[in-house]
Structure 1
Amino acid sequence: MKIETHSIDGKWKRYTLINNNNMSIRFLDFGGIITEINVPDRNQQLENVVLGYRNYQHYENNTNFLGTIIGRVAGRIKDASFTLNNKTYMLEANNNTHHLHGGSKGFHQIIWKTKPFQTENTVGVTLTHRSHDGEGGYPGTVDVAVTYTLNNKNELIIDYFATSNKTTAFTLTNHSYFNLTGNLAQNIHNHVVTIDSDTFVELSEELIPTGKKLHVENTPFDFREGRKIADGINSTYSQNIMANNGYDHYFILNQRKQAVICIKDETSGRKLTVKTNQPGVVLYTANSSIDNLELEKGRSKQHLGVCLETQASPASLHHEGFPTIILKADATYKKQTVYTFGIEE
């Protein structure tokens, strides 16, 4: 196990976590951005399985949120506003008339304080930040800690911790785009995804939750027994078409199984399983906004990566019956998502 530290143009730090299996995770203190995850295929060939820019400076204008920590609120907030304790808070409208992923100066745009650590079986870094009252339009001074831990089970563990001195809206996620073919060898059409979810959230044409929850039965959103992402990309189902031929939807997790999400790639043999104590996940399949960017292994294109944004639901700010994102004053926000990389036998 070891940690390597490298300076990027004298302004950012890049950390590389390496375990005893030579699996490695590389990320920046800027935005907590995960730039590489190198894991073996069935032939023990190590390759990067997340999308990252070739030129690190492109992360400064990272409108696709590649690999970032997202906050204060992950997802879209309708009309860039919400009401809490009879007071309305106005946020930045950075996605048409709506608020997306904490705004243009959200957690993906800050330099986090970092503290590396190492034990016999783990290596990691804790990233911390204080977000002051009123920052981004949100109430409360929030102290945030996000810890990346790599162990010898080829697990990346992301722990999220926060407290606020005022009741506020808060839900974090990581926005890595996974492509298990390795080094972007192919698109994600044939990735087989399994999600333990009976219900997903209907979206409007502006990709804002309508307040209606739909059952997955007899739709391309039924991932309970596993299905290819291509099923949704090629579908004529209105919710797939609305998302520009793919998925950009929140699934409410059943939490009946230990591993609630799984992705498999037959060509490489790689498998990613995800465990989380978050109530749901946004499945996003890079439907449009990621065209023609200069990535580490070539130009980007539609459907080149898939995001698994484990989080609560911003729809809860405007609709009843959704997993809440309200963090009460002096309460503790404590969430964990574990990504396990393996080989399909």
Structure 2
Amino acid sequence: MHRECTIFDTLPDGRTVRRWRLRNDEGAEVCLIDLGAAIQRLAVPDRSGIVADVVLGFDSAAPYLEAPYFGAVVGRFANRIRNGRFELEGNAYQLALNDGPNSLHGGARGFDKQMWAGEWVETGDGPGVRFSLDSPDGDEGYPGAVTVSVTYVWTEDSRLIVDYAARSTRATPFNITQHSYFNLAGVVGSEGSVLDHELTIPASRYLPIDETLIPLAAAAPVQDSAFDFRTAKAVGRDLGSQHEQLALAGGFDHNWIIDGSGFRPVARLHDPASGRTLDIRSDLPGLQFYSGNFLDGTIAGKAGVHYGRRCALALETQYFPDSPNRPDFPDCTLRPGALFSSRTMFTFSC
């Protein structure tokens, strides 16, 4: 395994952003940056052995401060909280409203906009990079001082293992995820659409949403609907259907309740053209599938490529949206003395 740490760029305020690169003997590699503990590049071979970068991102650091979470770790609470409000242990909290009437992905300055401290680590799975962050009490309105780490391990067989760990001084909602946008055809040089990618999600239920993308009162079965991905199908196959939920979100932007429990498969994405396949496993209860509905071509990324609508998609392992206000959902509260620990694994093959 080849590894190196170099200067990626300097932010307008003078802060230096480093890039950590891990490349295996097959030539597949992952590049990570301190800003947002983000995946800046993830390059894997196709069926012909041609290596291509399959995640959206930028060739410089400053755009990551404005971009919609490209490659970043998001928190303290991934996804939306209704009206940015919740009550916990008898206290009411108001968060920043950065998504219409709701709070999204930790607020105006969530984990994705912060500089993490990186270091090389050796783990039982192989070499990697551990990023650490201290989130103070009151950060973006959340209670408790939280110490959080994200460890990325890249293996010789092209598995990206992501281990999360966190502790808090007070009870606080905690929901963290990796927010990469994937296009398995390659970000540069492809036609820029994931509509022909084939997606599998082993979930018999999903969470319908209201007009602000907050879950409604009850889960719904996926059977006989556009939301049934239990058997692989093209991402774009049902996007043109008249399903009310697709109209509300402008496409898919929903949370699936993954069948089973423990560390298990949560999604498979396959590009028939290149042969690249991504398998995702996680121990978290939900998966947010976002079909890139609001990408509109105004953002210019790597090599000047403009990121148009549905040029990539996100598959985010997480707790359910608005969980702090939903006692019927799995409890996402991180309490003093407890350790939050979770693993998500991305396996690439062709």
Normalising by structure 1, report the TM-score. 0.95
In the alignment, structure 1 residue 273 sits paired with structure 2 residue 279: yes
For 1:319 and 1:69, the matched residues in 2 are separated by 24
8 Å Cα contact 2:295/2:310 also seen in 1: no
Q: How does 1:161-310 map to 2 (within 5 A)?
A: 161-184=165-188, 185-186=190-191, 187-244=193-250, 246-255=251-260, 258-297=264-303, 298-310=305-317
8 Å Cα contact 1:121/1:152 also seen in 2: no
Instruction: Could you tell me which runs of 5 or more consecutive residues in structure 1 were left unpaired when the two chains were aligned.
Output: none
For 1:119 and 1:197, the matched residues in 2 are separated by 32
Q: Which deviates the most, 94-103 or 4-13?
A: 4-13
Identity of aligned residues (%): 32
For 2:279 and 2:211, the matched residues in 1 are separated by 31
Root-mean-square deviation (CA, aligned residues, Å) is: 1.6
For 2:342 and 2:320, the matched residues in 1 are separated by 14
Normalising by structure 2, report the TM-score. 0.94
- How has the CA–CA distance of structure 1 residues 18 and 89 changed in structure 2, closer, same or farther, with 3 Å as cutoff? same
Give 1:320 shift. Answer: 3.4
Give 1:292 shift. Answer: 2.1
In the alignment, structure 1 residue 150 sits paired with structure 2 residue 157: no
**Equivalent residue for 1:113?**
117
Aligned mate of 1:37, from 35, 39, 42: 42
For 2:271 and 2:73, the matched residues in 1 are separated by 25
Deviations 1:262-293 (A, max 9, x none): 00000000000001001111000110145321
- How has the CA–CA distance of structure 1 residues 20 and 249 changed in structure 2, closer, same or farther, with 3 Å as cutoff? same
- How has the CA–CA distance of structure 1 residues 96 and 335 changed in structure 2, closer, same or farther, with 3 Å as cutoff? same
Give 1:121 shift. Answer: 6.8
Q: How does 1:63-74 map to 2 (within 5 A)?
A: 64-74=68-78
For 1:85 and 1:141, the matched residues in 2 are separated by 16
8 Å Cα contact 2:17/2:61 also seen in 1: no
For 2:124 and 2:338, the matched residues in 1 are separated by 33
For 1:318 and 1:149, the matched residues in 2 are separated by 34
For 2:38 and 2:75, the matched residues in 1 are separated by 13
Aligned mate of 1:327, from 310, 334, 346: 334
For 1:253 and 1:61, the matched residues in 2 are separated by 31
Instruction: Could you tell me which runs of 5 or more consecutive residues in structure 2 were left unpaired when the two chains were aligned.
Output: 11-15
User: Aligned AA for 1:190?
Assistant: D
